[in-house]
Amino acid sequence: MAMASPRSPRVLLPICSLVTLLLMLPSMAWAQNAQASPPVEATAPATQLTPPPIPDGSASAAVLEEQGDELRAQKRYLDSIDYYNTAMKKQPSALLWNKEGMSYLLLQRPDKAAKCFDHAIKMDKHAAESYNNRGYVEQMKRKYDKAISYYKKAVELRPGDAVFYYNMGSSYFGMHDYANAGKSYRQAFALDPGIFTRVSRTGIMAQATSPEDRAAFSFLVAKMYAQAGDFDRSLEYLRKAIEDGYKHINDVYKDSEFATLRTDKRFEVLMAQRPQSIP
């Protein structure tokens, strides 16, 4: 995984209710088109305090789209859909279908979102973000094989996007295929070392749900940061792995990636204290 901002040259939900069922953090980033937009927190639709606006039929498709983006930024998702639909009647595009799908995701309507992404893909076979977002819908349903097939297509179309690898790793985690999950996460990390510590602005971010998966995820990320020499983040994720009850935490004493980190006094303190696992 688009975010709400004034229209950008490209077109996120990394990941809250049903939409964030697969997110470890209550946030998402959206994939819209080729450019990124600022992240938006995925929460339940805000209560309407004012009457919904009526799309101006005389406005251009571009103006209607921009107004739809602004409404989505205000979490007025149904209103944003009205504007996207009106814009679609004037000038249908894969971008508009993708944005409408993201609004439906935030409304916790994955089936409608899937139809929108399918329309986007039909209109533009190279819409990598729509394949990514479509995969996210399947991941929400825990249909991980289908999700991975969509993510692979997104990667094929745009291999330089870390988010696509990140989401693929999350689906592998859902299948408890930690080997392929680790491979996907390492590819994401190589493209964007900060991807695990912030919400990406270029695609829907997904994450593991069970404590077991979260613990394994945190340990893997800790290992990658340790190898990269970022000890602050490595220790942060080691703590999370311990708190989620990672069963193989003692591997930290033998895995080569942690060799230098083991000389850090903070590592000694953390492992001596062993924070209590949080149920």
Structurally, the chain folds into a number of domains equal to 2
3-class DSSP assignment, residue 129:
helix
What does pTM read for this prediction? 0.75
What pLDDT shows up at residue 32? 42
> In the predicted model, what is the mean pLDDT of residues 182-204?
78
pLDDT at 274: 82
pLDDT tier for residue 196 given thresholds of 50, 70 and 90:
confident
No. of H helices and E strands in the chain? 11, 0
What is the rounded distance in angstroms from the CA atom of residue 137 to the CA atom of residue 123? 19
Is the pLDDT score of 118 beyond 90?
yes
- Range from 27-31, 78-82, 124-128 carrying the lowest mean pLDDT: 27-31
CA torsion through residues 34, 40, 44, 47, sign: negative
Same domain, 194 and 235: no
Q: Residue 14 belongs to what domain range?
A: 1-208
3-state secondary structure of 28: strand
Q: How much is the average pLDDT of 29-37?
A: 39
Instruction: Please report the pLDDT score of residue 176 as a whole number.
Output: 87
pLDDT in the model for residue 73: 93
Predicted confidence at residue 36, as pLDDT, reads 35
Domain termination residue (choose one: 208, 243, 267): 208
Closest CA to 63 of 9, 6, 148: 6
Residue 152: CATH number of its domain: 1.25.40.10
